């Protein structure tokens, strides 16, 4: 009897609870259900019971939301690769240095104000002096190529135009950081820009199919070793300057213009391009027993050995707050990619047709600069004394 009474009591309480739930859920959409004829009509709900119903519905809604959460609104941004994220951070730091006035000053000012280090041994300095006494020196401007990441084809197009119009000769001083250092080595090697563009497409296809982050350094080194000649260091010595950032108590620019071998040149180029966590899964790399990273951090467009340097920037110079830039997308502002697109292509390889377009745009921008600076008034030759 006791068990039957208890079971009946539980059933009754369960029935009353279900009726209450039905009343709560239907109160928002329509009138409450009519009472059952077999039961006495309940008293009208008080204000406190209505408040409890509202709180109960809120708890049910929160529980349902936890079971079936909506996708976050920024889901697309979370799809950025590690390469893009690390590259964005590093380029952001570089932009801070640039806006502070570093990396684009004349060579004397850079040396005095920024404390640029020179990787020159005493025998290198003497060899450079002897070379200058023997050779014809040019009073023409040198050309400095900015860091550019995978916008490298832009620099190739600029270089092709300058070669075609006679601005760059076998003795023209060159300097570069990151991708800019690569173009300097390509020019000094005697390889054509079209050959370099085809090799760039091979590298881009490898990165598109297998990924960019953590492995670009190894792929780039392999491509350069196969593409560049064995006597590369001979044509580079004293002519090109490779910018590197040395890490000490603060980042300092390091300029390298003397090399022992082809491998030494390639090592300098890889170091100049070393964005931490992008080229390889480590925060820095070693160059000649120095802890270093990408040269674009401190010397975005390094000075050449010429008395005047024409600076070439693959990004819109005005958007970076740069002044005195000779060649950049600002030369031809119409129908250009947005800065965001350029930024993405600098970190993730674009399709081949985009690489071809970047090459064409670089050539066109250099042609605009050439119209404003005719070769006859820019390129000058003078003979140094032999004393």
Task: Determine how many CB atoms are found less than 10 A away from the CB of residue 188.
Answer: 22
Could you tell me what percent of the chain has a pLDDT over 90? 45
381 — pLDDT class (breaks 50, 70, 90): low
Per-residue pLDDT at 6:
45
Per-residue pLDDT at 338:
84
- Contact between 329 and 361 under an 8 Å Cβ cutoff? The reply is yes
48 is an active site residue: no
Per-residue pLDDT at 339:
81
pLDDT > 90? residue 133: no
136 — pLDDT class (breaks 50, 70, 90): very low
Per-residue pLDDT at 249:
82
The whole-chain average pLDDT of the chain stands at 76
Task: Tell me which of 257, 294, 328, 365 is the catalytic residue.
Answer: 294
pLDDT > 70? residue 342: yes
* DSSP-derived 3-state class of residue 115: coil
What's the chain's length in residues?
A: 387
Per-residue pLDDT at 267:
97
Helix axis angle, 179-189 relative to 262-272, nearest 10°?
Answer: 150
Per-residue pLDDT at 9:
47
Pick 110 or 117 by higher pLDDT: 117
pTM, rounded to two decimals:
0.70
38 — pLDDT class (breaks 50, 70, 90): very low
Per-residue pLDDT at 202:
95
Task: Tell me which of 140, 144, 146, 178 is the catalytic residue.
Answer: 178
Per-residue pLDDT at 380:
64
Task: Determine how many CB atoms are found less than 10 A away from the CB of residue 367.
Answer: 18
294 is an active site residue: yes
Burial 108-140 (b: 16+ CB within 10 A, else e): eebbeebebbebeeeebeeebeeeeeeeebbeb
What average pLDDT does this structure show over 135-142? Answer: 65
Per-residue pLDDT at 184:
98
Pick 266 or 344 by higher pLDDT: 266
pLDDT digits (tens, 9 = 90+) for 143-192: 999 999 999 999 999 999 999 999 999 989 999 999 999 999 999 999 99
What average pLDDT does this structure show over 40-53? Answer: 50
Could you tell me which residues come within 8 angstroms of residue 265 by beta carbon, excluding any fewer than 6 positions away?
Answer: 185, 228, 232, 233, 236, 242, 259
Per-residue pLDDT at 278:
83
What average pLDDT does this structure show over 301-314? Answer: 93
């Amino acid at each position: 009897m006791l068990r039957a009474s208890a079971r009946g009591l539980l059933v009754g309480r369960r029935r009353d609870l279900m009726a209450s739930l039905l009343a709560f859920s239907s109160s928002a959409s329509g009138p409450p259900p009519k009472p059952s004829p077999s039961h006495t009509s309940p008293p009208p709900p008080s204000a406190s019971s209505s408040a409890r119903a509202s709180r109960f519905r809120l708890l049910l809604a929160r529980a349902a939301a936890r079971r079936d959460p909506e996708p976050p609104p920024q889901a697309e941004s979370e799809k950025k690769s590690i390469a893009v994220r690390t590259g964005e951070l590093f380029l952001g730091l570089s932009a801070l240095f640039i806006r502070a006035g570093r990396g684009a000053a004349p060579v004397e000012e850079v040396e005095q104000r920024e404390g640029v280090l020179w990787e020159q041994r005493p025998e290198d300095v003497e060899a450079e002096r002897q070379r200058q006494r023997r050779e014809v020196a040019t009073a023409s401007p040198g050309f400095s190529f900015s860091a550019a990441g995978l916008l490298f084809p832009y620099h190739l197009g600029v270089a092709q135009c300058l070669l075609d119009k006679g601005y760059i000769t076998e003795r023209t001083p060159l300097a570069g950081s990151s991708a800019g250092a690569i173009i300097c080595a390509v020019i000094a090697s005697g390889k054509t820009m079209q050959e370099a563009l085809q090799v760039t497409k091979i590298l881009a296809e490898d990165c598109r199919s297998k990924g960019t982050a953590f492995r670009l350094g190894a792929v780039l080194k392999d491509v350069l070793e196969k593409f560049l000649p064995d006597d590369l260091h001979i044509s580079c010595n004293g002519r090109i300057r490779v910018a590197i950032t040395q890490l000490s108590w603060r980042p300092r620019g390091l300029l390298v213009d003397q090399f022992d071998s082809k491998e030494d040149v390639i090592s300098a180029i890889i170091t100049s391009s070393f964005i931490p966590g992008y080229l390889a899964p480590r925060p820095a790399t070693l160059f000649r027993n120095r802890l270093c990273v990408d040269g674009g951090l401190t010397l975005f467009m390094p000075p050449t050995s010429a008395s005047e340097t024409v600076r070439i920037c693959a990004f819109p110079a005005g958007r970076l707050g740069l002044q005195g830039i000779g060649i950049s997308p600002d030369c031809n502002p119409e129908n250009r990619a947005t800065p965001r697109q350029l930024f993405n292509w600098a970190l993730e390889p674009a399709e081949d047709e985009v690489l071809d377009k970047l090459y064409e745009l670089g050539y066109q921008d250099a042609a605009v600069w050439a119209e404003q600076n005719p070769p006859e008034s820019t390129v000058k030759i003078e003979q140094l004394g032999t004393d």
